[in-house]
Amino acid sequence: MNCLHAPPACRLALVGLSRLSLRQVPQSRRLATVVGGGVPAEEAKQQQAEEREKTRAERDAEEGRVHGHLPEHGQKIWVHNHTYDGHILYSFTKVMDTNKAYRQMPYTGKKNVPAKLRKDYWRPLALIDFGDGLNDVGRSVFQKLREFKKRHELEWGRDDPEVEKRLLHMSKHKRGKELNNQRPNAVADVAAVLGGVGKGSKMWMVDWEDLKDKKVTVESPAWSKTPIGSAQLAEADKTGEKNARRLEALRVPVMQAGERKFVDWQALSRLTVDVKDSKEESSFDLESFKKLHKTKIYWAREEYLRYAKDWTDNVEHIIGLPGGKRKPEAAVIKKGSEQWQLPVEQETNAAPSPSP
């Protein structure tokens, strides 16, 4: 007899018998049921336990990650732009992360913060490409851009009283809309940061090709596998002047590190050169050998780069994002060319970057 047409009492009895029969089945037989893919439940549970036992370092090693990030993390910075309100978001990926994006959005009033990230409102404004092996430089630039953006949002009247007066006479809603539009400021910030502005900027590097014939006079524990700093240079000058007369003239050239920014000073146990008696002749100034890293910027539109008043020579501008259409007649714009001349009506839109 069909259970659906049975009386209610019969249906309850059948349900009780089915539960009783299920409890009488041994545990081993119940776990032997086959899960999707033909893997028994016992093996599936064992695999899940093994995955949980793996440490984060082991999982990162299998995926090729370094400190939880992919090897190319920091080599590229995407500048995302809200086409209507002018919001600016920085990201290491082409696709924005919603949680990370909202951390960069200030609260400028009711109805001034988008409720969600709509793909039809957001477009890439530019892509900053530092090249292979310069992840630390990209992360340093990313930090500076985030800091300058925050200062633009909070210190909008610090240097220009006219701007402060104009914003204070607006309604709260209009003032929030005005502060949301950070497109000109973002371009000016990119130009300043790529030009080496900011304390501790890693955009500066030492040109080892110019230093290949130079010598260093030092016998001091102050030298270590760290970036060359002013304190180490001062210690080197003092030690070199003191020990130049009593040490043997052992000529050791500076390590030709190529593109590296660090020198393994621990491998060189003792570096000396013959120096003159005067400190002026024995001093070694590394600041004069520093230069900026070469960087490429892919612009979605040519007029965006005009928001900045000036660009340094280390930046190469390419019109058109990777994978999209580019203008063949103006694919690369170099400083000093005819295409570099800024239109007068767009020069006024340039916003100065905050001082470091």
Q: Summarize pLDDT for 89-116 with one digit per residue, the tens.
A: 999 999 888 888 888 988 888 888 888 8
- The string of pLDDT tens digits covering residues 245-283 is 444 333 334 444 443 444 444 434 344 333 333 334 444
Average pLDDT over residues 149-170: 84
Confidence of residue 291 (pLDDT cuts 50, 70, 90): confident
Nearest to 303 by CA among 184, 197, 148: 184
CA dihedral 48, 49, 55, 58 (to 10 degrees): -50
pLDDT value at residue 204? 87
- First-to-last C-alpha distance (Å) of the chain: 86
Distances (CA, A) of 37 to 34, 43, 44: 8, 12, 10
Q: Which two tokens stand for residue 331?
A: 């694919």
Spacing of C-alpha 113 from chain mean position: 24
Locate tokens 């994002």: which residue?
A: 321
Residues 125 and 186 sit within 8 Å (Cβ to Cβ): yes
Closest among 252, 256, 283 to 270, alpha carbons compared: 252
The sheet with strand 122-129 has its strands ordered as: 88-91, 76-82, 122-129, 295-299, 315-319, 332-333
pTM: 0.60
Rounded Cα–Cα distance for residues 82 and 104 (Å) = 13
Whether the pLDDT of residue 160 is over 50: the answer is: yes
What is the C-alpha to C-alpha distance for residues 242 and 192, in angstroms, rounded to an integer?
41
